[in-house]
Amino acid sequence: MQEDGTTLKTVVPKKEQVDQKWYVIDANRQILGRLACQIAVLLRGKHKPQFTPHLDIGDYVIVINADKLIISGRKAMHKQYGRYSGYPGGLNMNNYNRVMHTYPDRILKHAVKGMLPKNRLGRKIYKKLKVYAGPDHPHKAQKPEVFSLN
């Protein structure tokens, strides 16, 4: 209640009221973890005043130049990424350098996915992330805005 006796109402936005934008982020010379954190906030919609934890009100994010990400320290040699085929002995482990050389987009996708909710909503939000190794992307028709990281 407010001082004058009136009550405040919580407004839950409807799907039609949510304005989802498209953003382009250039990953050139960006630190992996800090970039992934900013992307997770945009995807989730936490930067918007009408943020609601159980709704998907976040924006679409296009990341270009994912092959130019940087990490600090000795992580390039020691950080491991695993894939499991489902068969006995089917665990494939690769270090950061090898994965970055063959699939540079998977590094950033893996980092962002770990920062999203582990449920149906998280899987839905994750689909709004588009990562490309080079400077070009096929989403020109969406008229994305350039998002500057500070």
Span 82-121, pLDDT tens digits: 999 999 999 999 999 999 999 999 999 999 999 999 999 9
Range of the domain at 35: 22-146
Q: What is the pLDDT of residue 150?
A: 67
Q: Is residue 87 part of a domain?
A: yes
| Residue 28 domain-assigned (yes or no) | yes
Quick check: is 27 in a domain?
yes
- Is the separation of the CB atoms in 7 and 1 below 8 Å? yes
3-class secondary structure, 23: strand
Query: pLDDT tens, 26-80?
Result: 999 999 999 999 999 999 999 999 999 999 999 999 999 999 999 999 999 999 9
**What CATH number does residue 118 fall under?**
3.90.1180.10
The domain total for the chain is 1
Q: What is the pLDDT of residue 52?
A: 92
